[in-house]
Structure 1
Amino acid sequence: MENQWLSRAKRLQAIASTGLHFCKDEFDRERYQEVADIAQAMLANLANVPIIRIKGLVSDFAKGYATPKVDVRGALIEDGKILLVQEKSDGLWTLPGGFADIGRSASENVIKETREEAGLTVSATHLYSIRHKAKQPYDPDARDFYKLFFLCERRGETAPQAGLETSEVGFFPPDKLPALSRGRVVESDIHAAFDFSYGRQQFATFD
């Protein structure tokens, strides 16, 4: 679970973003901008990065009502092993996935991401978990996320291959996982996929 000051700073940033979008009064805009500046400075201090990095993370700042972003991940299990991809950005491993694109459903995004990152055509068969990133043991993030995890099945006989954002693709047993990209996925996300696949979990979990 993330630091309480990180949660508060993100909440202040969201309030300022929504306020700047909807307010009409010039003085209110100045007040919301000051709240935004304070929140972004807090986030920069907490993350130990320049403020410009924080501002760049929120591309839709002050462009509507502030809501969490959506991250989708696909779990493909075959012969007791799960498909993982190695990210070029950090050299660590994760379930295929990423930001959900506008215009596609959540399952369509999972199919797209798995094809792009692992070279495989899959279908999304079950939603097995919805997690609020801030309340789970992921690496801290200045952005707020809902993470949707889908169980998938392979379609066709194409062999896995890395994509533009990945360097390797492989299948791993749950007791021999590689080093994970913990901003994207943690061990419990992978174990939950096995539990759902083997019938030990009957319904999607959520927080």
Structure 2
Amino acid sequence: MSDDPQPSALAFLDELRVIAQNGLEYAENPYDRERYDRLLTLTSEGYGDLLDLPTESVRERLAADVGHATAKVGGGAAVFDDAGRVLLVERADDGTWGLPCGYVEPNESPAETAVRETREETGLDVESVELVDVYHRPPGHLGPHSLVSVRYLCERRGGELTTSHETTDVQYWHLDEVPVWHKDHEAAARDAEAVWRDRRET
């Protein structure tokens, strides 16, 4: 998170976490496995101190992440109306405005995530029509782990605008009139606007 006081510490812990989890995934030597397990415990203690969480709870959550450790993946949608305004949600947690988005669920593609999250957060049914870009958020920018966010240009197919438990308002905005953007969503929205304009001109 941009307001996190120790993003470099989170980045350090995230790299240690990956080394420990991948070591436990692939190491066959019992002594190596013991070292990686100890490293994961130390990483859990570090997360617990920084995020004010119980160390054992953190350790259990990290241990439950089986397989090769990799970045978190998110999917999001950019939906424009005929006037060139982008659909944004006002987030209930911080009052900022951002594109509909969320983490990819198991057995779900990022494009499917973009469609699902838009329906859940705005009430609209949309269809993914083109990839906008793939973005990377380092640890500490929006949470303790590295995040890869995949953004799609989507088109409305139905539904009615409504809020959810995650949003306090939903509306279309001209990009230059958005009062407070959520994190790096402005950059993604402007990239999406360029893709939207190119499609209209062809």
Scaled by the length of structure 2, the TM-score of the pair is 0.81
Paired residues of 1:75 and 1:150 also in contact (CA < 8 A): yes
Query: Of residues 35, 45, 49 in structure 1, which corresponds to 2:52?
Result: 49
Correspondence 1:103-182 to 2 at 5 A: 103-134=107-138, 139-156=141-158, 158-182=159-183
User: Against the structure 1 CA distance between its residues 116 and 140, is the aligned structure 2 distance closer, same or farther, given a 3 Å change threshold?
Assistant: closer
User: Against the structure 1 CA distance between its residues 55 and 193, is the aligned structure 2 distance closer, same or farther, given a 3 Å change threshold?
Assistant: same
- Paired letter, 1:72: G
Deviation per CA, 1:99-144: give whole Å up to 9, x if none: 1112222212211111111000111111111011119xx8352111
User: Against the structure 1 CA distance between its residues 50 and 102, is the aligned structure 2 distance closer, same or farther, given a 3 Å change threshold?
Assistant: closer
In structure 2, what is the Cα distance between the partners aligned to 1:198 and 1:112? 24
Cα shift at 1:53: 9.5
What is the aligned partner in structure 2 of residue 188 from structure 1? 187
What is the aligned partner in structure 1 of residue 79 from structure 2? 76
User: Against the structure 1 CA distance between its residues 161 and 62, is the aligned structure 2 distance closer, same or farther, given a 3 Å change threshold?
Assistant: closer
In structure 1, what is the Cα distance between the partners aligned to 2:102 and 2:59? 18
In structure 1, what is the Cα distance between the partners aligned to 2:157 and 2:53? 45
Gap regions ≥5 residues in structure 1: 201-207
- Paired letter, 1:169: V
User: Against the structure 1 CA distance between its residues 113 and 151, is the aligned structure 2 distance closer, same or farther, given a 3 Å change threshold?
Assistant: same
Gap regions ≥5 residues in structure 2: none
Query: What SS class does the counterpart of residue 163 from structure 2 fall into?
Result: coil
Identical columns (%): 27
Deviation per CA, 1:160-206: give whole Å up to 9, x if none: 11123222211111111132332xx4321111111221229xxxxxx
What is the aligned partner in structure 1 of residue 42 from structure 2? 38
Query: Quick check: 78-87 or 65-74, which moved more?
Result: 78-87
- Structure number with the higher helix fraction is 2
In structure 2, what is the Cα distance between the partners aligned to 1:181 and 1:58? 27
What is the aligned partner in structure 2 of residue 28 from structure 1? 32
In structure 2, what is the Cα distance between the partners aligned to 1:188 and 1:35? 37
Deviation per CA, 1:32-51: give whole Å up to 9, x if none: 12212333344455x45335
Paired residues of 1:21 and 1:62 also in contact (CA < 8 A): no
Cα shift at 1:81: 1.1
Query: Quick check: 85-94 or 52-61, which moved more?
Result: 52-61
Deviation per CA, 1:1-55: give whole Å up to 9, x if none: 995443332111111012223334443232112212333344455x453354982
Query: What SS class does the counterpart of residue 120 from structure 2 fall into?
Result: helix
User: Against the structure 1 CA distance between its residues 39 and 6, is the aligned structure 2 distance closer, same or farther, given a 3 Å change threshold?
Assistant: same
Query: Are 2:14 and 1:10 aligned?
Result: yes
- Paired letter, 1:176: E
- Paired letter, 1:69: K
Scaled by the length of structure 1, the TM-score of the pair is 0.80
Query: What SS class does the counterpart of residue 155 from structure 1 fall into?
Result: strand
Query: Quick check: 24-33 or 67-76, which moved more?
Result: 24-33
- Paired letter, 1:173: H
In structure 2, what is the Cα distance between the partners aligned to 1:48 and 1:80? 40
Cα shift at 1:148: 0.2
